[in-house]
Amino acid sequence: MINIIGLGPGEFNYLTKLGEKLIYSSDVLIGGKRNLESIKDFKGEKIVLSTNLKEILDYLKTNLHKNISVIASGDPSIYGIGKYLSNNISHENLNIVSGISSLQYIFSKIFVDMNDVYITSSHGKVPDFDYILNHKKVCMVTDNKIGPHEICKEIINRNLNKIVVVGENLSYQNEKITIGKAEDILSINNFDMNVVVILDEQ
């Protein structure tokens, strides 16, 4: 069986009990370097997730007899590896265990409900900001090309009144959440790994 397990936003305490049970009963654990390092005292084999997902897919298909867990940050079904593997592996051999996403986490920290939120990502694509910024409530998973500064420039270019929330290193000890108007966010030089929430001013 292939388990795809969401670890939560980062800190190990946010891993679900079911996810933890499946991880420690696995023969093989596959994941990013930092994610693998967060799993202590694992007795089986650890494989660092390659950027070449086809390599991992080929490995999984030839090792279906093993109990393998693929671990991912957040929820693997929200801009994670869940979509790729579920599109390429028979569902009878697959089990997806949702984790708490960084999106859920940041909304809980700013005390805003997630009703009617538009969820999107800037990973590997140019977002349609006309469409995105037409929503009253947006949560965007960012990358190193389109992050808080680029988002705020798009808001300013459209003369929109928005509140921007930038959550960095969520759930870790160096977590930082910054809230302000687009102009405020632009005045900050650098942001670490982050998620951005865009809200209409109330």
DSSP 91-118: GGGEEEE----HHHHHHHHTT---TTPE
15-24, 58-67, 87-96, 121-130: which range is least confident on average? 121-130
How many Cα neighbours within 13 Å face the side chain of 188? 21
Structure token pair of residue 117:
């939120």
Residue 110: per-residue pLDDT = 95
Distance CA 53, CA 19 (A): 22
The answer to whether residue 65 scores a pLDDT higher than 80 is: yes
Residue 192: per-residue pLDDT = 82
Task: Judge contact between 170 and 100, C-beta under 8 A.
Answer: no
The answer to whether residue 131 scores a pLDDT higher than 80 is: yes
For the residues 157-171, what does the mean pLDDT come to? 94
16-20, 144-148, 180-184: which range is least confident on average? 144-148
